[in-house]
Amino acid sequence: MLDEPTPGSYTTCPICDWTDDALATPAAREALYQARACYAATGASSRDSLGAVRAAAPGELRVSDGLVALSNSPRAEAAAAAREAIVRAFGDVPPGDRVTLTGAYRADGDGSTPRIDWDDWDTNWRDIPGEVLDFFGNATSVFVFGNLASFRYYLPAYMLRAIETGDAMRVVSALDRKTPGTTPEWSAEVEALNPAQRAAVVEFLRFVVDFLGPDDRAERALERIWLPATAAP
């Protein structure tokens, strides 16, 4: 019911308590989507706003010409696109001569046995349970103690897990390992991936930057390494 032009008036509606944002980022559009869903369910744009809203007077509600159409969650759409790109590009990557999760753990811990019932029986990265990825991701890093086959094989599993949990720290660290000014132009990890796989990494990093940020490493990896690598012949 705001009188000023929207979006971007930065005034607050007394009926739903939404502050009219400029919607300059995907995260801001997601916030609007969630606010509308919350208003439909509770009568306020957030549960914290329930005490700040009032009922609309007769004829007070109206549809603004500047109303932004959001039929689906921008975050959900971006997550689905990133998942599809990852599965399509990495779906048939074989284990090869990887260093396994358990092997990386032992290399990092002087041969100690991990406190989890896992023997690396998988032959497809999609078969690795999420709790296994979480354990080894927190206990060690296959991206540090593994090899290029490990990087290529486990990377998609950790990217999908990051989309699912919202915690992208370990996989972003693995994707941001090139020091500016070093040679060769691309790191071995970049060269280990084919063009479709590099494009899937870009899709993933865009999701992280847009919806899981702020994360300077993700933006740096995207702009400095993976976007140029995807554009390279």
What lies within 8 Å, CB to CB, of 59 at 6+ separation is none
The type of residue at 115 is R
Mean pLDDT of 113-128: 94
Task: Examine the pLDDT at 63 and tell me if it is beyond 70.
Answer: no
Q: Distance between CA atoms of 156 and 140, rounded to whole angstroms?
A: 17
Residue boundaries of the structural domains of the chain: 1-71, 75-231
Q: Distance between CA atoms of 214 and 130, rounded to whole angstroms?
A: 24
pTM score: 0.84
Q: Which of 70-79, 121-130, 195-204 has the lowest average pLDDT?
A: 70-79
Q: What pLDDT is stored for residue 183 in this prediction? A: 46
What lies within 8 Å, CB to CB, of 108 at 6+ separation is 139, 140, 141, 144, 145
Q: Distance between CA atoms of 153 and 126, rounded to whole angstroms?
A: 10
pLDDT tens per residue, range 123-155: 999 999 999 999 999 998 899 899 999 999 999
Mean pLDDT of 87-93: 96
8 Å CB contact between 171 and 207: no
Q: What pLDDT is stored for residue 184 in this prediction? A: 47
Higher pLDDT, 99 or 65: 99
